[in-house]
């Protein structure tokens, strides 16, 4: 005579365990699931807050572009009259121009790269490019 295995034996053999059949495993995993959920929520909140703060400083990087534009005529003036910059070489102004543009573009790319999913730039209405 062939015996029919009970449902508990079948679930043990198949490797599946449902909360109604083995509550101990469910109760043991619940605190870990709660901790993981809280950790994810804290990480996402910190991520969104950092993105918000970084977006606030985007106008300053726009001013770096304006400062780089001003460095071009200053470099020309210092090239023509070296005493105008108190013995500072004209190359320093050109290098400052390149550095300011690189920092501004790099910062903008970094802020776009760390954008959390589902979040838009809260200060886009204040900028002229309106991404």
Tens digit of pLDDT for each residue in 22-34?
A: 777 777 888 899 9
What would the mean pLDDT of 66-85 be, rounded to a whole number? 88
When pLDDT is cut at 50, 70 and 90, the band that residue 100 belongs to is very high
C-alpha to C-alpha distance for 42 and 102, rounded to whole angstroms: 33
Q: Check whether 107 has a pLDDT greater than 70.
A: yes
12/55: higher pLDDT: 55
pLDDT in tens, 47-73: 999 999 999 988 898 899 999 999 988
Q: What angle do CA 103, 86, 93 make, to 5 degrees?
A: 25
């Amino acid at each position: 005579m062939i015996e029919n295995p009970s449902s508990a034996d079948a679930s043990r053999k198949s490797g599946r365990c449902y909360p109604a059949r083995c509550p101990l495993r469910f109760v043991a995993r619940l605190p870990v699931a709660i901790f993981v959920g809280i950790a994810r929520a804290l990480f996402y909140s910190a991520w969104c807050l950092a993105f918000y703060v970084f977006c606030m400083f985007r106008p300053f990087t726009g001013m770096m572009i304006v400062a780089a534009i001003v460095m071009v005529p200053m470099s020309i003036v210092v090239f023509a009259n070296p005493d105008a910059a108190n013995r500072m070489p004209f190359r320093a102004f050109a290098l400052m121009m390149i550095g300011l543009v690189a920092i501004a573009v790099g910062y903008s790319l970094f802020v776009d790269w760390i954008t959390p999913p589902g979040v838009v730039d809260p200060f886009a209405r204040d900028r002229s490019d309106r991404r």
